Amino acid sequence: MDKPILVIPMGDAAGIGPEITVKALANKAVNEMAHLVVVGDGQVLKQALRYSQVELTINCINEPREGNFFPGVLNLIDLGNIELSQLKLGAVQAMTGKAAYEYIEVATRLCLAKKAQVLVTTAINKESLQAAKVPYIGHTEIIGALTGTKNPLTLFQVHNLRVFFLSRHVSLRQACDLVTQENLAAFIDQSVIALKRLGVTNPRLAVAGLNPHSGEHGLFGREEVEAVIPAVAAARRAGIDVEGPIGADSVFYLALKGKYDAVLSLYHDQGHIATKMVDFEKTISITIGMPFLRTSVDHGTALDIAGKGLASPVSLIEAIRLGALYAPFFKQSQ
């Protein structure tokens, strides 16, 4: 089977994105997983090679089919949009925010044109985007706008634990208000579709409880009684293998041990804490519902250590691994 082509926008040039990119591509095992193409700035990546003490040959190309996919080669679509003399590592800058947006834009268009199968994103900085007057706060919003996707679904995976999120970047109060039977019914359906696109043929789902002990039959909150239980019952009648509510203090452990293919988390921190306690560095974000698959590191630009050669590429390597793993299934489901 031909290896999938994964495209990596290098992230904010002032952060650790360039460093983890060169370190990941210098890993022999990574090159065996997929054909990798980076969209970024050649001078910045050469600088990252120096302070990371990594040896790679940069091969500048115009599109993925021109790549030289051998160990020791970094295939680069060089946008040349960073003035190296003005780059301040570790600082928020409009220049790097604008450049980061352009890397994502080019990488997204490659995926839309089916010249790459998976988009693997590194870290960008919200403040730098804002300084550059980019009207989006992050990758999901940027890619959503470029692809016309309005409601993508976020999946976290760490080892064999998968977690979907009913809500993410809203207040805890708002998150509780979003736990309705209607929202949960749609959430369960979306999660089943997403897992099937990733090759899970008969998904087994568990819905986490919202309140302590899943509300104890309404003693500690009514969300389980009024929303979760009816939504789960309706889904089961429709033939979906789903259980819940299951106490949040045990459901993630049960899924990690293999009882469920995914947990449906009811708010941001519930699922984030669970996955990152399993393995912080290998917790990966996967976005489903776009015209192509996207995997991502789940860390920031780490401006405090930028340019020091200290950044770990483990998260990016794992994002590449999962992208390569799921690419064949995702392609078949399109």
**DSSP-based three-state secondary structure for 273:** helix
- Output 331 or 38, whichever has higher pLDDT: 38
pLDDT confidence tier of residue 27, bands split at 50, 70 and 90: very high
Torsional sign, CA 41, 46, 50, 55: positive
Tally Cβ neighbours within 10 Å of residue 132: 19
Q: Are strands 35-40 and 5-9 parallel, antiparallel or unpaired?
A: parallel
Task: Copy the structure tokens of residue 244.
Answer: 């819940």
Nearest to 56 by CA among 83, 80, 21: 21
Beta carbons of 278 and 161 less than 8 angstroms apart: yes
Task: Copy the structure tokens of residue 27.
Answer: 């890993």
55 burial class (0-12, 13-18, 19+ CB within 10 angstroms)?
exposed
pLDDT value for 330: 84
pLDDT value for 153: 92
**DSSP-based three-state secondary structure for 98:** helix
pLDDT confidence tier of residue 334, bands split at 50, 70 and 90: low
Distance CA 289, CA 150 (A): 9
Distance CA 23, CA 50 (A): 11
| Domain boundaries along the sequence of the chain | 5-151+289-333, 160-276
Give the chain's mean pLDDT.
Answer: 95
Prediction pTM value: 0.93
Distance CA 288, CA 125 (A): 22
Distance CA 33, CA 115 (A): 17
SS (H, E, C) 44-89: HHHHHHHHHCCCCEEEECCCHHHCCCCCCEEEEEECCCCCHHHCCC
DSSP state of 134: -
pLDDT value for 138: 87
Residue range 160-276 forms a domain whose CATH class is alpha beta
Residue range 5-151+289-333 forms a domain whose CATH class is alpha beta
What are the tens digits of pLDDT across the range 227-265?
999 999 999 999 999 999 999 999 999 999 999 999 999
pLDDT of 181 strictly over 70: yes
Beta carbons of 122 and 11 less than 8 angstroms apart: yes
Beta carbons of 230 and 183 less than 8 angstroms apart: no
pLDDT confidence tier of residue 219, bands split at 50, 70 and 90: confident
Averaged pLDDT for residues 301-305: 95
What φ, ψ does residue 281 adopt, rounded to 5°?
-70, -30
- β-sheet bridge partners, residue 288: 153
pLDDT of 1 strictly over 60: no
pLDDT value for 137: 85
pLDDT value for 100: 97
Distance CA 135, CA 229 (A): 39
Q: Which residue bears the tokens 């054909």?
A: 35
pLDDT of 78 strictly over 90: yes
Q: Are strands 118-121 and 293-296 parallel, antiparallel or unpaired?
A: parallel
Averaged pLDDT for residues 156-173: 94
Nearest to 308 by CA among 20, 52, 33, 11: 52
Same fold, 5-151+289-333 and 160-276: yes
**DSSP-based three-state secondary structure for 243:** strand
Q: Which one-letter amino acid corresponds to residue 139?
A: H
